[in-house]
Chains A and B, each alone.
Chain A
Amino acid sequence: MPTAWCADCFNLCVDELGLLIKMAYITNTAGAFGRLWRYRDLVRNLVLKDIKVRYMGAALGFAWSLANPIVITFMYLMIFTYIFPSTQPHFPLFLVTGIVHWTLFSQVIGQSCEVLVANSGLIKKIYFPRLLIPVASVLVNLVLWLAALGVYLVFYPLLGGKFSLVLFVYPLYLLLFVAFIWGLTLILSTLYVEFRDLKHLIEVALQVLFWATPIIYEVGRVPRHIQEVMILSPLAEFTIIFQQIFYANKLPSLNITMAFFAWTVVVVGLGLWLFNRRVPESVERL
């Protein structure tokens, strides 16, 4: 069985690569890949600059990026240990897994609107591939988040997690998750230039999404008919997959993997299309 699964997984990778290449042709970015690659040091410099400036002068430096996930996790642990005690075995592990991944999503998406507008000074004065701005923005948050992931992995065995072979598929899913977030950032940052309401809308939407995603409760607790709707949400899919990997030590089912993959392809494709189409004209409006 695991071999069959691996074969599926491998095919999926091949498909993914093929699709990426096709998409590159579609958006006429085949030659642009080379150009983007030439600017790789720009991404590096932008990311380092952002991290440096963000935590400049703070004695604890970028350790502050851990404060938010740790506090949130701690609060929920208190609530579900003393106020509404959970009967689920290793509940803290379940909770932390969901929250760690939610943090990455909510941090990037919370800032995604401002990405282009905040860099208007650069965009209006120098030409460089604009796509690199959202890339740098996502990477900044990803780098900071990896520290949180490190802390999580240190506490993982203490919370009752088992290091099993299943964990090896995690990077693949994480990559898809990051691609999904990046695609969404492309969409939101492009739309925000025209619709400034978006930022406030997203703040509200993030609150709703948090509770509409099975992060602090198991998806099995939800009534059957609601569950069927809930599972359509990409965030629910991501969360369930990460819970399966870390909490249940099971390989995510092929169905949910396909759904998750489809969402990512759609969002990234739509994001690239919208970004390439709208941003050259949006420059004048920044």
Chain B
Amino acid sequence: MANDAAQSDDVIVVDHVSKSFTLHHNRVSSLKGRFIGLFKQRWRQHVEHFHALTDVSLRVRRGEALALMGANGSGKSTLLQIVAGILRPTSGRLWTQGRIAPLIELGVGFNPELTGEENIYLNGSLYGYRNAEIRRLVAAIVEFSELGHFIDTPVKNYSSGMYMRLGFSVAVHLNPEVLLADEILAVGDVAFQQKCHDKIAELQRNGMTLLFVSHSMDTVKRFCHRYVRLDHGKIVESGVFERDQQADQIDGSVSSSTQQNANAAASSDRPGNAVT
């Protein structure tokens, strides 16, 4: 399967992936605890295998946007962590291609003592960028985040909104080929949220692939062409959002994506949707 994937347009192939966690009840990691556990039941650790994902398969093509939906604990975030390479599947295979930016949490790796600008470099290098590459982006990141002169102050003095704005700005300016977003598009006030949404739409027009976890049907419909619904670690439903044969037209080329976007805007009942 991975071999066909290499030839086609797929950027993410999840092939019969299962993931089980070992839950340690009464987790014992000291020698004392282990010793007492020999005699006392209450101290003994018992292990439970929790199946977070069972036999999940999906493919995402270049430029496509797939929504992962489902209730809390259905395995969405675990799947995202597997695609990001953070967790290793218990069985099955994962194949990805291109620069993946996992936005599982905003501002990961920000050090509170460092200034905003220093954190931009640190965060960028965590995604595998060279400092020289980031240097060219700093001005745009600072401008987008609307932090102004606060960029020179330690991040510990930021409000939570400022912190998230900076985290979001860094991630979207690194020009990811694949963006894995976990409930992160609710950043800041209404005006900034709109700006974030426009930015994501712009990146999508430039061919970025999006894997998006959200509970909000409105947001999901705005960005995604397809959805997969998970329940207790299994795919229970998958489908295409009905937006004017849009799903049939998906491919990476800019012209057709723009066309899709025009369709999306025309079919949308909300004003100001993705018409940049």
- Residues of A at the B interface (CB closer than 8 Å) are 38-39, 41-42, 44-46, 49, 52-53, 56, 121-128, 194-197, 280-281, 283-284
Q: Which one, B29, B108, B121, contacts A125 given CB within 8 A?
A: B108
Q: Which one, A45, A46, A53, A196, contacts B113 given CB within 8 A?
A: A53
User: What are 25 A-B contacts with C-beta separation under 8 Å?
Assistant: A38-B128, A41-B125, A41-B130, A42-B125, A44-B125, A44-B131, A49-B114, A49-B122, A53-B111, A121-B108, A122-B108, A122-B126, A124-B86, A125-B102, A125-B105, A126-B108, A126-B126, A126-B127, A127-B102, A128-B126, A195-B31, A196-B30, A197-B29, A283-B87, A284-B21
Question: In whole Å, how far is A278's beta carbon from the nearest beta carbon of chain B?
Answer: 12
If A126-B84, A126-B108, A128-B126 are given as contacts, then 10 extra A-B residue pairs at C-beta distance below 8 Å, sorted by A number, are A41-B129, A41-B130, A42-B125, A46-B125, A49-B111, A49-B122, A53-B111, A53-B114, A197-B29, A283-B87
Q: Contact: B131 with A194, CB < 8 Å?
A: no
Q: Contact: B128 with A39, CB < 8 Å?
A: yes
B88 contacts the other chain (Cβ, under 8 Å)?
Answer: yes
Q: Contact: B31 with A45, CB < 8 Å?
A: no
Known: A53-B113, A126-B102, A127-B84. A41 touches B131 (CB 8 A): yes
B247 contacts the other chain (Cβ, under 8 Å)?
Answer: no
B161 contacts the other chain (Cβ, under 8 Å)?
Answer: no
B250 contacts the other chain (Cβ, under 8 Å)?
Answer: no
Chain B residues within an 8 Å CB radius of A127: 84-86, 100, 102
Alpha-carbon gap, A196 to B102, bound state (A):
30
Alpha-carbon gap, A56 to B154, bound state (A):
12
Interface residues on B, range: 20 to 34
B137 contacts the other chain (Cβ, under 8 Å)?
Answer: no
Chain B residues within an 8 Å CB radius of A44: 125, 131
Give me the 5 closest cross-chain CB pairs, A-B, nearest first: A127-B85, A42-B125, A125-B108, A41-B131, A280-B88
Chain A residues within an 8 Å CB radius of B239: none
Question: In whole Å, how far is A220's beta carbon from the nearest beta carbon of chain B?
Answer: 39
Question: In whole Å, how far is A198's beta carbon from the nearest beta carbon of chain B?
Answer: 10
B98 contacts the other chain (Cβ, under 8 Å)?
Answer: no
Q: Contact: B118 with A197, CB < 8 Å?
A: no
B104 contacts the other chain (Cβ, under 8 Å)?
Answer: yes
Q: Which one, A52, A121, A124, A197, contacts B31 given CB within 8 A?
A: A197
Known: A39-B128, A128-B126. A45 touches B108 (CB 8 A): no
Alpha-carbon gap, A49 to B118, bound state (A):
9
Chain A residues within an 8 Å CB radius of B126: 42, 122, 126, 128
B109 contacts the other chain (Cβ, under 8 Å)?
Answer: yes
Alpha-carbon gap, A6 to B84, bound state (A):
49
Question: In whole Å, how far is B134's beta carbon from the nearest beta carbon of chain A?
Answer: 8
Chain B residues within an 8 Å CB radius of A52: 113-114
Task: Mark out the residues of chain B between 73 and 96 whose CB falls within 8 Å of any chain A CB in the assembled complex.
Answer: 84-88
Least CB separation from B31: chain A residue: A197
Least CB separation from A38: chain B residue: B128
Q: Contact: B87 with A284, CB < 8 Å?
A: yes
Alpha-carbon gap, A284 to B100, bound state (A):
21
Alpha-carbon gap, A105 to B29, bound state (A):
26
Chain B residues within an 8 Å CB radius of A195: 29-31
Question: In whole Å, how far is B184's beta carbon from the nearest beta carbon of chain A?
Answer: 12
Known: A125-B105, A127-B85. A45 touches B111 (CB 8 A): no
Q: Contact: A121 with B109, CB < 8 Å?
A: yes
Q: Contact: B114 with A125, CB < 8 Å?
A: no
Alpha-carbon gap, A281 to B128, bound state (A):
22
Alpha-carbon gap, A42 to B130, bound state (A):
8
